[in-house]
Each structure stands twice: as C-alpha cells, then as structure tokens.
Chains A and B, each alone.
Chain A
Amino acid sequence: MLPIERVFGTILGKPVDRVPFTLTTSLYGAKLTNCEIAEYYCNPDKYFRGQMAVVSEFEPDIIFSPFALAKEAEAFGSISTYSGNNPPNIKKPVISDFSEISSLKLPDIENHPGLIYLSESTRLLSGQYKDQIPVAAICTSPTELPALIMGIEGWLDTLLFHPEEAKQLMELTSGFFVSFANSLLAAGASCIVTLANFSNPTIITRKIAEETMIPVLEQNYAQINGPIIFHHGGPRLIPFLDLFPRLPNLAGLVISPKDSFEETRQIVGKEITIFGNLNGQMLLKANPETIKKWTCAILENRKDDQHFIFASSNADIPYDTPLENLKVITRILKNSA
C-alpha cells in the first residue's frame, strides 16, 4: 500500500495494511542534509533536499511543507531572526498596537520572497511525491496570524479591549489565509494544516474561542479547496475540543500529548481522524527504550481506532534529537500491521 492510500484510507475509515505515521521533521531535514538554517528556510531547493532525506531515512506516510510560520508574518512586514538550529522566529512584529492595524496591507502572495519560498517548497515536494506521499502544507489561520503580526501582547490586548479593531485585523488575515491556503493546494499540497498556537486554552478564554475565533474559522475553512488538519499548537485541546467538529472541511485533529485519546474520541465522535500524540519535544533527551515504550503504548491504546494516524505532537522535533531516537519509532510503525 502506498502512503497516500494508507493515509486517505484511514481518513475515510477504510481498512489499511498498517497504522499510518508521520513525524514533524520539517526542521530535521536541515540536520540530515547538514544545511545551514538561514539557507534551509530561504531556499526551496535546500528544503526539498532536506525532505527527500527525511523520506529516505524515515519513510513517513505524510511529509510537510516548511513549518515556518514566521515566513507568513514576514510578508506583512514583521522581521524574523534565523538563529541557532531553529526555524525562523519573529524578532520584531510589524505593528504592536491596535491603532496601527489600518496601516497593514494584504501581502502579494505571488511576489513576496517568503511566500514564494513556502509555495515553491510545496510545489517541489508535490512534484516529487504527490502520487505516493501526501504533502501537508502549514498555513497560519486568520485567528493566529495576528499574534505574529503584532506580537502576543498586542493581539491579546486588541482581542480583549478593542473588539472592532480585532475584527478589522481578522478580516485582513482571513483574506490572506483563504488566498494563500488555496495557492498551496494549487501548488500540489494534499491538505492544509493550521495551528492553534494562540487560540488554545492556555492563552484565550473559552468565551473568546467560542464567540470570536470559531466563527472566523468556520467562515474561512468553508472557502478552502481541500481538507484541513487542525493542530493543537502546543497546549492541550480538550477544553475547546467540542467546538471543532462543526468546522467545514475538517479532516483531522492533531492532539497534544496531554490530551487523552479516549476523551477526544468521546467529544469529536468516530469519524474525525485523530493524529498524535507522541511528545516530539521529549524525543531529544529520552533514550530509545523509553521511546519504544511510549510508541507501543500509543499503538496499543488506538489499536481499534480506524481513524487514527500516529504522529509526533507539539512543534518540530528538535534539531539535536539523535537519529536512533526517531528510527526506533519508524521501525515499530512499519511493523504495526
């Protein structure tokens, strides 16, 4: 069975030969190809080569376009830093205060270098693998992007105390999200992954999620020409989980290592595919024997779940994670008939 048949078979609830799996190895491709970080996150060809190395080393059932949210914020004018062995991170948001929102302009998705990098990386991966391995393209949702455009403080302050301006900013980011996500699908992405790195229970209240964020996502997801996977972004999702099943085009949820599969399944029903929930950050320091136990425990827990894809949760697997720590996972998964 090809990875693409395995993954979409699982999403549709059809029998598959084994549990599909993916690891968040967007960054790890730089390590495998010994590529300098700034180059890896600016040159699509370097990223493509990194992901080819990922495929050759791990044979995952899903591969990723660059997990580099800062690139989208760069298109609005935010300044990123490319330091250490990490994906780019926002150094200076383009604005910091709600009064500056009206100065923002919709980025030119066809000509901005950061967006071209993301699209071109997706196109190269899709050109190579589309008929075999699904390419998941990361795209920041309109509710999260403001935190990268005006900083967490600025966005929180606007949401809490300036609702009209918050609405104005999300109208702008919605326009961007719909165009850019659809352009990534047109470039060959099999699905879009959006993250809740801001709209999660550790940062916002349920009232904000329910009354402000979900209606915006509902409206935006409906305009996307492909399936969407909702990623927990870091913290647990459970407290907001009941809000998600109503989102259009939602094909799956990546849950946090702190979320329980049983509770998730109970809340979202039987049809939505659940991805997770091996803690990707813990792979750096754990030993292979421990990782083997974690992996087997997850597989045992989900053995009767037809809509389950094994995945590392959280952000990118750290650059310095020993190769053997990942190989132990892939060996188990490939034998998990």
Chain B
Amino acid sequence: MTTIEINEFRTSLTNLIIEAHRTEAVSLIDEISKETGYFMAINQILEPVLIRIGEMWSKEELSLAQGYVAAKITEDVLLKALQTSEWQSKITNKQVPVVLANIEDDFHALGRKMVGTFLQASGWQVHDLGNDVTAIDIVDAAVRLNAPIIGVSAMMYSTALNIRKVREEIDSRNLQDKIKLAVGGAIFKVRPELTAEVGGDGTTASATNASELFSELLKTIKN
C-alpha cells in the first residue's frame, strides 16, 4: 500500500466510525486485510484511526456513541483476526498481561469493556475481572498473572474513592515499582484532580487512548 492509499483508507474508516456505519467499516478493514493481512490492517489503518478518534473524543468533539461504535468495529475485526494463524504468530506470544476491573461498588461496565477491546487490539493480554471487584482481589490477580499494569474504572465520585484501596494494597505489598495503577471512568473527566486523590499513576480522557497510557506506564516499571 502506498502512503496515499493508507491515508485514504484512514480517512474513510474515520468517517465510517463517526457516521456509525459499523458493517461498512468492518468490510473496509476486511478488504484491506485481504491484501495486507489483519496484522497490518489493524496496525496501519485501525490503530492510527483509533488514536485520532480518541483525540477527538478527549476534546469532546465526538460522543460516547461514536467511541462505542469504534469499540464494536474493533471487536468485530479482532474476532476475525484472532482466528487467523497470522495474528496468532505475530501477537499472542508477545503480549503483556494487564488486569482490568470496576472497583468495589461500581457497576458501570461500558468504559472498562471498551478499554479492554482497544487494549486487545493493540496487543495487550487483557484479564477482565468484571464489576464490583475488591482491591485485594484486583492486586492478587495482578500478582498471580504477573501483570505490570492494573486499570481500574469507576463512574461516580463516591465509588472512585474506593480506588484508594487499590493504591493502599499496592503500597502495603511494596509493589509500587512493579505495578502501575491506571484509573478511568466518567468522573475522572469531570474531576481530573481525582487521579491524584485516589493515588492513580495515570488516566486518559478516552478509552481509545488507553494503550498509549499503558505503554507510558510500562516504561516506568522498575525490574
């Protein structure tokens, strides 16, 4: 593919996501992958588009609905890619494990699921623990899976405060150099200062940019 073709595909895919044309968007990636394989199609086309969508979403130029469409398209494409031997050989064995959960008392799964989808598309090995998970269970899972990053989500201020318990759990086990805590959810957009308040190591305003955040946090891990 030439640079011009790549840019044209990216523009088309961005427009299809913004207009919520899920089937057409997946078909476009399918078409590209016939020529390049899914690994390249995701790497060269889908991922850069997701980063662009994430930037627009962070600036409130796009809505959750458009972010959700992007997640569903990514899910559809990943499902197809996972069935190919090409994807298995290039991705599976190189993945870094990460743990995701909604904190204790929080039941708003959408953001967490979207983050999981986008992380998987970027090659992370996602272990999703679900809703209403205690700090002890989250940190236990990270230790068991040897996951250097934990992503914890909360929708409301009151439940977000429970994330402090994850910070305390990490610190009390002296794991602060080995495990980094990413936090997110609607309330962190409204109150950015909350990340520091609950002891988070980082946050991002959109699910599509989670991989970038996790990559940054991974660089700060001390072995």
Contact assessment for B107 and A160 in the assembled complex, using a CB-CB cutoff below 8 Å: no
In the complex, which residues of chain A have a beta carbon less than 8 angstroms from the beta carbon of B60? 201-202
Q: Does B105 contact A (CB under 8 A)?
A: yes
Q: How far is the CB of A94 from chain B (nearest CB, A)?
A: 13
Contact assessment for A204 and B63 in the assembled complex, using a CB-CB cutoff below 8 Å: yes
Interface size class of A (residues with CB under 8 A): 20 to 34
Select which of A86, A153, A204 is within 8 A of B113 by beta carbon: A153
Q: How far is the CB of A144 from chain B (nearest CB, A)?
A: 14
Q: How far is the CB of B31 from chain A (nearest CB, A)?
A: 21
Select which of A81, A161, A202 is within 8 A of B107 by beta carbon: A81
Q: Does A281 contact B (CB under 8 A)?
A: yes
Contact assessment for B66 and A205 in the assembled complex, using a CB-CB cutoff below 8 Å: yes
In the complex, which residues of chain B have a beta carbon less than 8 angstroms from the beta carbon of A234? 190
Contact assessment for A203 and B107 in the assembled complex, using a CB-CB cutoff below 8 Å: no
Q: How far is the CB of B73 from chain A (nearest CB, A)?
A: 11
Interchain pairs with CB closer than 8 A, number: 59
In the complex, which residues of chain B have a beta carbon less than 8 angstroms from the beta carbon of A85? 158
| Secondary structure dominating the interface of A | mixed
- If A91-B107, A153-B110, A281-B191 touch, does A318 touch B65 (CB 8 Å cutoff)? no
Interface residues of A in 265-290 (CB under 8 A from B): 281
In the bound assembly, the distance between CA atoms of A213 and B72 in angstroms comes to 22
Contact assessment for A281 and B109 in the assembled complex, using a CB-CB cutoff below 8 Å: no
Contact assessment for B105 and A84 in the assembled complex, using a CB-CB cutoff below 8 Å: yes
Select which of B64, B72, B113, B156 is within 8 A of A203 by beta carbon: B64
Could you list 25 examples of A-B contacts with CB < 8 Å? A83-B158, A84-B105, A85-B158, A86-B156, A86-B158, A89-B156, A92-B107, A152-B64, A153-B109, A156-B68, A160-B20, A160-B22, A160-B65, A160-B68, A202-B60, A202-B63, A202-B64, A203-B63, A205-B20, A205-B65, A205-B66, A208-B65, A234-B190, A281-B191, A318-B157
Interface residues of A (CB under 8 A from B): 81, 83-86, 89-92, 151-153, 156-157, 159-161, 201-205, 208, 234, 281, 318
